[in-house]
Chain A
Amino acid sequence: MYIQPEIIVVVTAFAVLGMEMFLPPRQRVLQTPVCLLGLSIALAAVVYLMIQGDGNFLGGQFLFDGVAGWFKVSFLLAGLLTVLLSADLLNGRFKIVPGQNRVLIHRGEFYTVVLFNLVGSMFLISATNLINLYVCLELATIPLFALVAWRRDDPLSCEAGLKYIILGATSSAVVLFGLGLLYGLSGSVDLFTMGDNLSFGPATKLAIAMVVVGVGFKLTLVPFHMWAADVYRGAPLPVAAYLSVASKAAGLAFMFQLFYRVLGNVLLDVSMALAVLAAVTMTLGNLVAVVQANVKRFMAFSAISQAGYLIMGFLDPSGAPSMVYYMLVYVVTNMVVFGVLVFYLNETGREEIEDYRGLSRTNPWIALVMMLGLFSLAGIPPLSGFVGKFFLFSVASKAGFHWLVAVAAVNSTISLYYYLRIVRQMYIEPGLGDDPPIRASASIVTALAVSTVLMVVLGIVPFFYETIYEQTHNWIAVAGIRGGMAE
């Protein structure tokens, strides 16, 4: 039985829901620790299973292997950090600013929906057939619509939800059309069988083009990214953080399933298209991020460009470990930055880039953490973002896409420009008067500490990458049929 982590999460979700129903409001604060505990146990369970080795459940309906394990670790980490980041808002600890409505209500329901969504992502990477894949994708998506619109008294939140659901449903329809084509072309719903049966005809291309919409929507690839800025801006900030990491990781999981298992045979044939997609994505994301003034929108575009780097890993079958590794890195790194954003927004109600002026004077440690996070996103050594990006670039280079490496590397520079804009506000610009140091809550501090340590450790300790490398062999083997011939 390899399904324990999922079960633990589901149980936790129901426990939280039960507490919501049966506990008096004042004791519902306990939901947060319960949630954290459940997620931690699930995390431990995943790690335990990874040590145990690969296996399947229900006759192979549910597959657990190293890659699935790492994905689940990412999801759970993202979930844990999101729970920590949202704790202050749910506890009502934030500065009330006229004209802004930032209250987050219904703690129990919130956690339940987040956890269900998390379970969807976890099942997604373990699915072995198309039906399961589709249903898990929906579970990993639909609750997010609700989460984005969660702050029902905030018009922006509702608007974001409106946009998100319209585009999400559209993309889901298109992806379904594509999945149907794949089903029709292969005559099977088993992912592996489908992979064996598929050939690279025009209809397959059409199917790929359609599933790319779904993948692109979740991963925010250009031109499927346009929802991101508005939704990040409107959504409650912890939800935006969650969107930027967990949802993206789910998108990557979906893409792994599709591109390695179903389309493994034709992976090399689509590499050029993917390369162009990656190039356009990172370039557009970066260029637009340059002119943003609001940190949320800014992070949205930053996340878009990160997705562009991420899919460079598909250019060569050997890229799987790089992508899994980068996803892990990206989750913790982005959570570092979002942690600081949440902290600052909660405590001061400020969310423009210029509002960060003088942070290094009032809160030097927070500023340092923020700077490290931004540098890691920009790919500055020795932080893990650098190592991750380096491996991804290496994949593209190996596949012969030197131009893409150049584009990506120049993009890193552009991204450094806008990351440095925040650093500049924090370190160089004079502060807004003599602000006293801002006290950070325990949950924020914990979140920041955990993610920062992970961010640094991931880049320096080779264990993580090496383990991932060992464990991705079977995925590459599935995809490597044509790859082996091409070399």
Chain B
Amino acid sequence: MTGFLFENAWMIPALPLISILLIGLFATGSNARFAGIIGSVAIGTAFLLTCGLGLAYLSSAEAGASAVTWSIEWLRYQDHLVVSLGTLIDPISLLLLFVVTSVSLLVHVYSIGYMAGDEGYSRYFVFLSLFTFSMLGLVLAPNLLQMYVFWELVGVSSFLLIGFYYTLPEAIAASKKAFIVTRFADLFFLAGILVLGFFVHQWIVDAEWGGVTAAAVQSASAVQALDFATINSEPVLAHLKDQPGVLGLDLLTVAMLLVFIGAAGKSAMFPLHVWLPDAMAGPTPVSALIHAATMVVAGVYLVARLFPGFAASGDALDVVAAVGCITCLFSALIACTQTDIKRVLAFSTLSQIGYMMLALGVASAEHPAGLGAAMFHLFTHAFFKALLFLGAGSVIHAVHSNDVAEMGGLRKKMPLTHATFLIATIAIAGVPPLAGFFSKDEILGAALDGEHHLIFGVGLFVAALTAFYMFRVYILTFLGGHKSDGAAKAHESPPIMTIPLVVLGVMSVCGGWIAVSQFVLPGVELHAHLLVMGLSVAAAVVGIGSAFWLYGGQANRAQTMAESMGGIYRLVQNKFYIDEVYLFVTKMIFRFIAAPAAWFDRHVVDAVMNLSATVVRWVGARLNVLQTGQVQTYGIWMINGTILVLLFLWLVQR
């Protein structure tokens, strides 16, 4: 049974794929209502398989073991560069599998209610299943290229889902933006793959030629340059570290930085974060699944996957830490000023992912605790953030507005939603003993252990900010009086939507008690920092307190505060004008590259081609004039010809 589960781990991603086919074939038109059920059943089965797999892993394998349990040759570039599709089972992939299948299942179920009656109902579930399939494939990838393949696929399914309401211009714009920005980042990922592919391949070939069999890495002939096992192996990393790269960096750092840019794009790290807030134009369950719980953490997952590489490089890891740090601070600040509930959550997501990156960044080969902490936070964050989004969805569903200014007082109207939302808010704020507290605490601890004091400080500050803005939203949404008709008429969502909320609520409460870090990094000692705990709880309390002080009472206190900040507030509220910068750059590209290219093509390149035709005709017309009809002129030409032939023969040739 255990072996069976391992060898057939491919069935986990395959199930959503089957569900796509089934929905596509059968659940169209009048049968559309079955789409949700088919999708949910498929993903439910996948979830069960995942659980079985996890149990089997826990029971059979030694802790931290990693194995490719199944693979088929997929794309043969050349020897040692053969890409297989396979399933890599190790703690982090299992962790992610669990997160993805569980959240996806809940979102599927939730969506049955949320999307009911939408004309694109079955299309929605096709896309959702497509996403789930891709994400699972990504998680299970045993090599960089499979990762990239599914990386792109999640990107495209994200694109499709953001643009689900395809008649809305902002949804279309957002979907394009999301795709193009991540695509831009993927370009660097691909470049990283090229770099790694070439140099690792070269190493393998050299090793073969040099008599050193590739056994140094793995069993001989099957060594493939893009396998994680190969890339992450000591000799390869050492080799890469020795090679000169560009800009004075060593090759390993260059490669890892390139890959990291890809990761940053997908995980919406500063400055590639611009797509995520806009992506909220998609259906809310999609935001919960893709843009909160799973896809956006793919970047974190990627860095974790290549952690030995990052760790060996060192510099690359510092960049990760810095980027994570900036992002979490920056987006937390923005989150404090937004009024669209989903946008607040989006910036919150950014901030939390920044947290995870930060955690990875503070880890090192000697002190890998940050890695575990990042994974832990990924795990807990998935649940409470999904819960927040689904709760927000429930609210939006009821109020028909995203703006917190039009909500308020929903505590009574939607008790279940309120309760679960509150749980999630507390969890994210880092109040013990809910999930967020533990993971966040571990991150801060890791930062302190790694002697990254500045980062620790920022982390602490962001923790406070997080508590602040989350409670701000909570207060504005659920407390106080109704601020609009929609809020007044709101009522609780149907059970199909609330049950997932409850389940997620339970996970948000209990998630922190699962020893994820030990699972991910068996054998690494983790010691609790009482100091850190105390500081983080204090930060949470400060945040919550200030939120209540500012928004709990008379509303104008916040107003006054904002006004007193003046320009800074506006700067933050407008997201530091980063979007505008991008817009400007894009316009410049259009105006100064694309338009000239098109113009150049029509009016220079093509004109030259046309000119040659014109010249031919012009010369023809000129020569035609020689045909004067004067017979004596013709005769003169004839004799001229004779003389010329003679002179040619006589003078030119010998």
Contacts and interface: CB of A to CB of B under 8 A. Distances in A.
Interface stretch (A89-97, A122-130, A266-274): A266-274
A205 B650 contact: yes
B60 to A, nearest CB: 70
Interface stretch (B93-101, B235-243, B633-641): B633-641
A229 B627 contact: yes
Given A163-B631, A202-B650, A272-B653, A277 B645 contact: yes
Identify which of B638, B645, B646 gathers the most chain A CB atoms within 10 Å of its CB. B645
Among A171, A205, A217, A230, chain B packs the most CB atoms within 10 A around the CB of: A205
Contacts of A289: 620
A223 interface: yes
Given A174-B639, A174-B642, A272-B653, A287 B623 contact: yes
A206 B637 contact: no
A302 to B, nearest CB: 13
A222 B619 CA distance: 16
Interface in B600-654: 613, 616-617, 619-621, 623-624, 626-627, 629, 631, 633-635, 637-646, 648-650, 652-654
Contacts of A284: 623
B631 A206 contact: no
A285 B648 CA distance: 21
A209 B649 contact: yes
Contacts of B624: 288, 291-292
Contacts of B645: 208-209, 212, 273, 277
A202 B648 CA distance: 11
Contacts of A37: none
Contacts of B642: 174, 209-210, 212-213
Q: Using C-beta atoms within 8 Å of the partner chain, give the interface range for chain A.
A: 35 or more
A287 B652 contact: no
Most chain A CB within 10 A, of B626, B629, B640, B649, is at B649
Interface in B46-90: none
Given A226-B627, A291-B621, A273 B638 contact: no
B638 A171 contact: yes
A170 interface: yes
A370 B281 CA distance: 64
B524 to A, nearest CB: 73
Nearest to A202: B650
A111 interface: no
Given A208-B649, A229-B627, A272-B653, A223 B638 contact: yes
Contacts of A205: 646, 649-650
A229 B621 CA distance: 14
A224 interface: yes
A366 to B, nearest CB: 28
A244 to B, nearest CB: 17
A224 B646 contact: no
Nearest to A204: B649
Interface in B571-626: 613, 616-617, 619-621, 623-624, 626
B641 A223 contact: yes
A293 to B, nearest CB: 10
Interface string A224-248: 1011011000000000000000000
A409 interface: no
A288 B654 contact: no
Given A269-B653, A288-B623, A170 B635 contact: yes
B634 A227 contact: yes
B641 A291 contact: no
B648 to A, nearest CB: 5
A162 interface: yes
A227 B617 CA distance: 22
A131 to B, nearest CB: 23
Contacts of A216: 638, 641
Nearest to A289: B620
Nearest to A213: B642
Contacts of B619: 287
A345 interface: no
A287 B616 contact: yes
A170 B649 contact: no
B628 to A, nearest CB: 9
Contact of A270 (B620, B623, B640, B649): B649
Contact of B634 (A163, A273, A277, A414): A163
A163 B621 CA distance: 22
A276 interface: yes
A290 B648 contact: no
Contacts of B640: 223
Contacts of B623: 284, 287-288
A199 B79 CA distance: 67
A226 B634 contact: yes
Contacts of B650: 202, 205
A166 B646 contact: no
Nearest to B633: A226
A167 interface: yes
A167 B641 CA distance: 14
Nearest to A284: B623
B155 to A, nearest CB: 47
A285 to B, nearest CB: 10
A167 B635 contact: yes
A229 B624 CA distance: 10
Contacts of B646: 205-206, 208-209
Interface string A401-435: 00000000000001001000000000000000000
A173 B643 CA distance: 15
Interface string A138-170: 000000000000000000000000110011001
Contacts of B654: 269
Contacts of B626: 226
Interface in B532-585: none
Contacts of A174: 638-639, 642
Given A206-B646, A229-B627, A269-B653, A290 B638 contact: no
Interface string A104-139: 000000000000000000000000000000000000
Nearest to A291: B620
A213 B653 contact: no
Contact of B637 (A202, A208, A226, A290): A226
Contacts of A270: 649, 653
Contacts of A217: 638
A276 B638 contact: no
Contacts of B629: 230
**A167, A277, A290, A292 — which one has the most chain B CB atoms within 10 A of its CB?**
A290
Closest 7 CB pairs of A and B: A209-B646, A226-B634, A287-B620, A223-B641, A290-B620, A205-B649, A209-B645
22 contacts: A163-B634, A170-B635, A174-B638, A208-B649, A209-B642, A209-B649, A210-B642, A212-B645, A213-B641, A224-B641, A226-B627, A226-B637, A227-B631, A229-B627, A269-B653, A273-B645, A287-B619, A288-B623, A290-B617, A290-B620, A292-B624, A417-B613
Interface of A: 162-163, 166-167, 170-171, 174, 202, 205-206, 208-210, 212-213, 216-217, 222-224, 226-227, 229-230, 269-270, 272-273, 276-277, 284, 287-292, 414, 417
Given A170-B635, A276-B648, A290-B616, 4 more contacts: A171-B638, A226-B637, A287-B623, A290-B617
